[in-house]
Structure formats: C-alpha cells, structure tokens
Amino acid sequence: DAKTTQPPSMDCAEGRAANLPCNHSTISGNEYVYWYRQIHSQGPQYIIHGLKNNETNEMASLIITEDRKSSTLILPHATLRDTAVYYCIVRVALGAGGTSYGKLTFGQGTILTVHP
Amino acid sequence: GAVVSQHPSRVICKSGTSVKIECRSLDFQATTMFWYRQFPKQSLMLMATSNEGSKATYEQGVEKDKFLINHASLTLSTLTVTSAHPEDSSFYICSARPQGFYNSPLHFGNGTRLTVT
C-alpha cells in the first residue's frame, strides 16, 4: 500500500473550516484513500474514504486531486470536539477472493487542535 | 450500524498472569478481525489478523505464543496476553468490517487499556 505524508500538527479556530492535507504521491490506480481520527484514549473513528472522486458526508468532505497524489480532508465548521489525531491511509481496493485481508497501516497522523 | 465492542475497557493484572480481551461485532458478521496495539504518544501498530475458523496471521516481531488469538465465530475474536509483563502494558484495539464488504471501512472498538504491575 502507498505511503502517506501528513503534517505532524495543525491548529484551527472553532467555527472555521479545518483543512488537513495528505500527500500520497506513490498511490496507484486501485488504491483508496481513507481518513480516520482518534480522540484521546478511544478507538479510531472512520470519517470518509474515496477512490477518485470528491466525497462528502455528514462529517466531512474529501477532496482528491486529479492526479490523485494528494488529498485534503475538510471539516467545514470545526468544534472543540474535533480535536484529535487525524490519519490518512491508503489501501489497495480488494476484490472477492483476493488474498489480502484489507488491513490498514497507520502512520503518525496530524494532531489537530481546535481552539476557542 | 457496524458497531465493534471490546471488553474489558480497562484491566490491571499482575506480572505473570494472563489476560483475555474480547472483540465482538454487534450487528454484522466478520470473517476477519484485526488486532492493534498502541503505546503512549505513538500510532497504532498492527499485531495480527484474526481469521474465523483458522489460525491468525501475525505481523513480524509479534510473538504468537504470547499473544494468543482465537476467532471462534463470525462475531467474536479474543486476544489473550499470556504471562503478561509490564512491557505489555498498552492500549489494545480491535477492528472489523462486515463480511463480504471488502472495501467498506474498518470499524474499531474503543480499546482495552492493559496495565501490568
């Protein structure tokens, strides 16, 4: 699976949009981009994932560049509860009968601190 | 939907004893579950892949005789830390995805904080 690079930390003011970048320059055509976050002393929480197109759900938006070498997770209106470590993970798409079990490999992530 | 439950959330044990951690998928079946370990201020490290009805696959450097994994049903995997020592104190987290949904997200339990005294 392709490696990802994220800034170690970022700050954001409450109520503003938080834009978290992720570089995955070696991504291949059949690899998904997943975003998770981990609030202190809890298990990781799934946020969003995508393959080629931009995606949006109730939590966030995922913007993937046309060449797919980078992406940005957008939290449109950050709150204090969004303070967490955010992980960008790239993983190959699986097909039925494949030998891969679809594990996720976590990097160091970005510590996002939302301040009042 | 897709809830993964871990039990216990916290456990303190004495050095030399064994501890069992349970991971359950509450509203779906999972052929495969994953066990991670996380030390303070570090990222999650995959320990092993648990497969229903067969042997677990361990990552390099993880002792299979020390970390026993049993995946006896499609909704339950257990991790037993045998002869625990203080260096095994860590945050253990399991994850799973619904059977057959190969590209759907992994869902994580809330972790088990193990302290070995």
pLDDT tens-place string over residues B65-86: 999 999 989 999 999 999 999 9
Using a pLDDT cut of 90, give the percent of chain A over it: 79
- Residue B44, min C-alpha distance to chain A (Å): 6
**Band (A95; pLDDT cuts 50, 70, 90):** low
The per-residue DSSP string of B35-83 comes to EEEE-TTS--EEEEEEETTS--EEPTT--TTTEEEEEEETTEEEEEE-S
- Quick one: average pLDDT of A26-38? 92
Distance from C-alpha of B117 to C-alpha of B109, rounded to nearest angstrom: 24
Is pLDDT above 70 for B59? yes
- Which chain B residues touch A46 with a CB distance below 8 Å? 105-108
- Which chain B residues touch A106 with a CB distance below 8 Å? 36, 43-45
